[in-house]
Copies of this chain bind each other. A is one copy, B any other.
Amino acid sequence: MKEITIQQNKVLDCIQEYINKTGFPPTRANICKELGFKSPNSAETHLRALEKKGFINIESGTSRGISLVNPVEIEENGFPIIGLVAAGSPTLASENIEKTVNCPPTFFGSGFDYFLRVKGLSMKDAGIMEDDLIAVKKTQDIRNGDIVVARIEDEVTVKYFERKSPSIIHLQPANNDFSDIEINLEETELYIEGKSIGLIREN
């Protein structure tokens, strides 16, 4: 965005205030009245300058055809999106972070830690589709039926959690094309990264 002069900034502010106050943009005459100009051409030339510099759009031949070009919102501390790779643990290392999503920490009721981008359709019948973002809360407080992010040896997967016995865990997909994974904790290492407490889909 190019430089802006003091007068042009006044005009830009004037437009913003006018829209906030009335709900629609000002005419040239409105701007003149607000800023004390005596000729509509004073507003006109400032508007042309603002358009040229990319701060506003002007719809030609249209009354009040001014629209603000909103600058990109400031990216505050958002939540990271982590890609779910077939092998490897989803770490918060920066190289694994696709981008960050700006939303309140309490977006899904209780707090969560990161978003995980889902690959595959193994949880299709639970309404979790390819490329969905599941909100993951890092916790070991897992109950039967929870959707968990589990790491078996080096492979990360999203499944329903079902404890059959103290040492036998079933990880169940929500898709008939996939089979249950039975894990004997005495033979195989299982680590629960966390559980899904919400979902976002960007179409």
Q: A residues near B, CB below 8 A?
A: 22-25, 27, 57, 59, 62-68, 71, 73, 101-104, 106-109, 124-129, 132, 147, 196-203
Q: A23-B66, A64-B63, A73-B104 are in contact. Are A198 and B198 (CB under 8 A)?
A: no
Q: A124-B127, A198-B200, A203-B198 are in contact. Are A23 and B23 (CB under 8 A)?
A: no
A147 to chain B minimum Cβ distance, whole angstroms, is 8
Which has the most chain B C-beta neighbours within 10 Å: A66, A101, A104, A108? A104
A108 CA to B62 CA in the complex, in Å? 31
Taking CB atoms, residues of chain B closer than 8 Å to A132 are: 127, 199
Give the top 6 A-B pairs by smallest Cβ distance, nearest first.
A23-B67, A199-B201, A63-B63, A127-B129, A127-B127, A64-B64
Tell me the nearest residue of chain B to A30, going by C-beta: B62
A163 CA to B147 CA in the complex, in Å? 38
The reply to whether B202 and A24 form a contact with Cβ atoms under 8 Å apart is no
A200 CA to B107 CA in the complex, in Å? 10
Q: How many identical chains are in the complex?
A: 2
The reply to whether A24 and B66 form a contact with Cβ atoms under 8 Å apart is yes
The reply to whether A196 and B203 form a contact with Cβ atoms under 8 Å apart is yes
Taking CB atoms, residues of chain B closer than 8 Å to A63 are: 27, 63-64
Tell me the nearest residue of chain B to A62, going by C-beta: B24
Taking CB atoms, residues of chain B closer than 8 Å to A124 are: 125, 127
A47 to chain B minimum Cβ distance, whole angstroms, is 14
Which has the most chain B C-beta neighbours within 10 Å: A103, A127, A128, A129? A127
